[in-house]
Amino acid sequence: MFQQTNIKLSNSEIKIRFFQFLLLTSPLIGSYFFSYSIYKSPFSCPILAFTGIPCPSCGLTRSFLSLTRGNLWESFSYHLFGLIIYSSLIVFSLHLLLEIFYKKKVKNKYNTFINDTKIKYLILVSFIIYYVFKLLYLQINGDLLNNFQHSPLGEILYR
């Protein structure tokens, strides 16, 4: 999957990769810490808190926590794309770690896949379709309107 090249990285490139590594591993480390501790995740969605309507990424934190605990089906119940994003973070972090360790660029097989415009659109459309179905499900249950009416924005609009 990864293949070392002879292209050396400069010190600034290594620093950038180290920053990227920290950024990508923070959700993984955080999900490990919060899933095995008595503490609840300090993160909550500001869009959900203000409008009562979940944003497209609502549920990802809980999905990551479930994956860290090994609960695959629970993870899917929180967010359909949780496993894909979590796995991608692991692969990208490993790639960056190898480049930092060897101080050389590392070839990968997923780069052409990621850079394909059709794949990017497919991922975006899939994410949007999932979000629309999530909102439709909440609407059918009556939760969407109820949550909106009891949100701070709903309180302002329905006065």
Query: Which burial class, exposed, middle or buried, applies to 5 when counting CB atoms under 10 A from its CB (0-12, 13-18, 19+)?
Result: exposed
Q: What is the average per-residue pLDDT within 15-41?
A: 85
Task: Work out the average pLDDT over 119-135.
Answer: 95
Residue 32 has pLDDT above 80, yes or no: yes
Mean pLDDT (the chain) is: 89
Using the predicted structure, report yes or no on whether residue 114 has a pLDDT greater than 80.
no
Q: How far apart are the C-alpha atoms of 143 and 99, rounded to whole Å?
A: 47
- Residue 92 half-sphere exposure toward CB, CA atoms < 13 A: 20
| Residue 119 or residue 7, greater confidence | 119
pLDDT reported for residue 2: 67
CB-neighbour burial class of residue 48 (10 A; exposed 0-12, middle 13-18, buried 19+): middle
Residue 20 is predicted with a pLDDT of 94
**pTM for this prediction:** 0.84
> Is pLDDT of 89 > 90?
yes
Tell me the C-alpha distance between 45 and 54, whole Å: 8
